[in-house]
Structure 1
Amino acid sequence: MDLVFGWRSATLLTAAAVLVPLAFALLVTLRNRLANRTLALLILVLIGVFTPWLIGFAGFYDRWRWLTFLPVAVPLLVPAVLRFYVTALTTGALPPRWRWMLLPGLVEFAFQAVSFCLPLAAKDRWATAALPIAGPLFAFALVASFGWHVTASLRLLRRYRLSLNNAISDEGRFAARWLATALVTFAFLWSVWGVVLLWDWLWPLGYTGLMWLYLLIAAVALFLAIEGWRHATDPFPTLAMLEAAGQPTKAARDWSTQGRLWADQVAEAGWVRDPDLDITGLARRLGTNSGYLSRALNEGLGVNFSTFVNDLRCRFVVEAMEAGSSQDVLALALDAGFASKASFNRAFRAATGMTPSAYRARVSKAEKVRPSSATRRHTDRPPPTSGA
């Protein structure tokens, strides 16, 4: 029987041709090395998941029947390796008991490998007897595994982002948003995958009917590989380092008064204009330690480090606008210490309740604008509670 590469096989083959070089590029990237290697492994596992459909629609199984049970598709490895990637990026290490997390995938691989080695006649009989039982069991295990690992990864990411906000002024520069997007994408894939598997169990969809699921898996793999490679060298401070830097001390002080004093000192000195400012560097300039500064901000002023710094930066932009500066809004933002337009827009809206362009338009109409509480709070009174 001749091999036929129709649109289904061609689409999946094209995806694999893009994914393999990206996986190799991640393997040789030195920064975030452990995380990038786990991402490369995840990409290869996803390629394996849709490979049976790639070769099946091309006629491989019809031409070479001994390929039945070819042990390349191991979906149960996907959730665990995804969690490895998130954990490696945020902590610099694999999760505790990571070997046990691989066990379901290894069991699935062993089932396929042993079945693949059977003689052809025995393999046909085994497929008829075993697949109706093993298929639903592996499908249920996959759905449960996805739920467990995605939930644990989201919990870890939330902890990481809170620690970033307590120690770093611009979370966007540390690609935490990329991780959140990746996890939301996999949560969507998990829901679709689970529904399709349940549907196929109750009302079999057939080989062609399941094709759309594997096209979605290939699309998610491409998104993950391309975006993961784009963020492969982004800085990712470890969770332990962030929590140590933002850990408040237990010394008894009037943190509200101390926070206002330091806020005034920081505003006057203009230190927040440094886009690389973090809590350790600011504490050093204030002549204190990061623990004291963290407590003054969290308990004394009711804000985290990111909100404190970005509100002061917004204050500088507002003052420049009200002074009649003709500079572009983005130029004002960069001069105030913001590293990107996106982070500036988010912070400005949170601080003033308006977009930068709307605020400038309001100023240009010569209306009498009272500074918002967000732009006055570091000189008049403590800031409102926000992400402490």
Structure 2
Amino acid sequence: MDLVFGWRTAVLSVAAAVLLPLAAALSTSLRNRLAARTLAALLVVMTGVFVPWLIGFAGFYDRWWWLTFAPFANALFVPPLLWLHARALTDRRWPRGGWRHLLPGAVQFTYQTIAFLLPLPLKRRWAEMSFSAGDMLLAVLLAISFAVYGTWTLRRLRLYRHALAQERSDDARFATAWLARTATVFPLLALVWAGHLLVDAVTPLGYAGLMPLYVAIAGFALYLGISGWRYLVLPFPTLDQLRIAAAPPPPTRDWHAQGRVWAARTREAGWYREEALTLRQLAGRLGSNESYVSRALNEGLGIGFSDFINSLRCEEVAALLAAGDGRGLLEIALETGFASKASFNRAFQRRYGQSPSAYRASHRT
């Protein structure tokens, strides 16, 4: 039988041609090394998941039936690898015994390898008996794995983002772009993936019917890889570095009054204009410690560190716009300490209930 390289094979081939070199480049990264290598492994695994369909659409299995059970696709590695990537990014290490979470994927790979090495007559009989039940079992295990590891990943990212907001004024660089989007896309992929496999196990969809699933898997892998390449060059602080040692405050301390004093000093000195200002740096300039400054902001003023600093930046921007400053909004935002226009727009909208451009227009009127 002749091989046919149609549009389905072309689409998946392009994805693989991008993902594999990207994984190789990530594996050599010197910054956030473990997170980058875990992500590289995840990209290789996700590429392997759609390789059978890539070559299947071209007719490889029809021409060379002995390729059946070739251990390309090991989907049970995907959920734990994404969770381990999140842990490596927030801790610079896997949890103790983290490799054990890869055992289900290793079992799947071992099973496929053994079945692949069977003599052809025995392989044919085993394929006829096992394919339907095997697909159903894989769908159930994937659904459970996605649910468990998805929940763990989301909890980890929420904890990390909360710690960032308490410690750094540029927290959006590390949390709101890459990590939040990853946490949002993860359950969507789980829904599409497990849902397709369950339907296919009951009513076979065939190659064409499963194409949307594997396009979704390839697209998610490309998103992860490109985002990782873009963001993993940043010096991600670890969760341990962000944790604030709890120091018991004096029982008579008025945190509201202290917060107002420190807010006034911060505003007057203009420290908020420093793009990467951290809670530790601000506490040092106020002659205090991180725990006290954190309590003064959270308990005294009812605001987190990141929102406090961004609020001061927004106040300066608003004052300049009200005074008729004609410079571009981005130039003003960068001057007052914002790292990007996106983070500036979000903070200003939250502070004043309208966009910076609308605020400027209203004061011109």
TM-score band w.r.t. shorter chain: over 0.9
Which residue is equivalent to 1:53? 53
Q: Are the aligned partners of 1:175 and 1:231 in contact in 2 as well (CA < 8 Å)?
A: no
State the identity as a percent: 53
Aligned counterparts of 2:110 and 2:337: Cα–Cα separation in 1: 55
CA distance in 2 between partners of 1:235 and 1:175 (Å): 12
Q: Report if aligned partners of 1:248, 1:294 keep a CA contact under 8 Å in 2.
A: no
1:310–1:82 Cα change, 3 Å: same
Residue 175 of structure 1 deviates from its aligned partner by 4.5
Name 2:94's counterpart in structure 1.
94
Counterpart for residue 248 of structure 2: 250
CA distance in 2 between counterparts of 1:166 and 1:343 reads 16
- Residue pair 2:157, 2:183 contacting (<8 A) in 1 also: no
**Structure 1 partner of 2:238:** 238
- Other-structure match for 1:156: 156
Whole-Å separation in 1 of the counterparts to 2:249 and 2:181: 39
Deviation of 1:172 (Å): 1.8
* Kept in 1: contact 2:135–2:197 (CA 8 A): no
- Aligned position for 2:30: 30
Measure how far apart 1:257 and its partner are.
1.2
Q: Distance in 2 between matches of 1:324 and 1:55?
A: 63
1:343 and 2:343 aligned = yes
Aligned to 1:173: 173
Q: 1:23-50 CA distances to partner (integer Å, 9 max, x unpaired)?
A: 1111111111110101100000011101
Check whether the contact 1:345–1:356 (CA below 8 A) recurs between aligned residues.
yes
Contact 1:249–1:295 at 8 Å: present in 2 too?
no
1:135, distance to aligned residue in structure 2 (A)? 2.1
After TM superposition, the runs of 4+ consecutive aligned structure 1 residues lying more than 6 A away are none
Q: Residue 145 of structure 1 corresponds to which residue in structure 2?
A: 145
Matching residue of 2:274:
274
TM-score, L = length of structure 1? 0.90
* Structure 2 Cα separation of the partners of residues 138 and 195 of structure 1: 11
Cα deviation digits, residues 319-355 of structure 1 (max 9, x gap): 2223332333322222211111111111111111121
Cα distance in structure 1, aligned partners of 2:265 and 2:215:
57
* Rounded Cα–Cα distance in structure 2 between residues aligned with 1:324 and 1:62: 72
| Shift in Å, 1:241 | 0.7
Cα contact 2:116–2:123 (8 A) shared by 1: yes
1:175–1:236: 8 Å Cα contact kept in structure 2?
no
How many matched pairs? 363
User: What are the within-5 Å matches in structure 2 for residues 190-269 of structure 1?
Assistant: 190-244=190-244, 247-252=245-250, 253-269=253-269
Q: CA deviation at 1:176?
A: 4.2
Residue 236 of structure 1 aligns to a residue whose secondary structure is coil
Cα deviation, residue 9, structure 1 = 1.5
Name structure 1 gaps, 5 residues minimum: 366-388
Equivalent residue, structure 1, for 2:75: 75
Unaligned 5+ residue runs, structure 2?
none
Counterpart CA distance in 1 for 2:16 and 2:342 is 33
3-state SS of paired residue (2:66)? helix
Shift of residue 130, structure 1, vs aligned partner: 2.2
3-state DSSP of counterpart to 1:111? helix
Q: Deviations over 1:110-146 (max 9, x none)?
A: 1111111110111111111222322211210011101
Q: Distance in 1 between matches of 2:159 and 2:272?
A: 25
Show the counterpart of 2:130. Answer: 130
Normalising to structure 2: TM-score of the pair? Answer: 0.96
Name the amino acid aligned to 2:76. Answer: L
- Work out the CA distance in 2 between the residues paired with 1:191 and 1:337: 40
1:298-313 equivalences in 2 (<5 Å):
298-313=298-313
- How far 1:2 moved relative to its partner? 2.7
CA contact (8 A) 1:175 1:234 kept: no
Mark the CA change 1:200 to 1:272 in structure 2 (over 3 Å): closer, same or farther.
same
Q: What RMSD over aligned residues (CA atoms) do the two structures have, in Å?
A: 1.4
Q: Does 1:323 align with 2:301?
A: no
**Paired letter, 2:178:** W
Following TM superposition, by how much is the alpha carbon of 1:165 offset from its aligned partner in structure 2, in angstroms?
0.5
* Amino acid in structure 1 at the alignment position of 2:254: D
313-322 vs 279-288, which deviates more?
A: 313-322
Amino acid at match of 2:119: P
Contact 2:132 2:201 in 1 (8 A): no
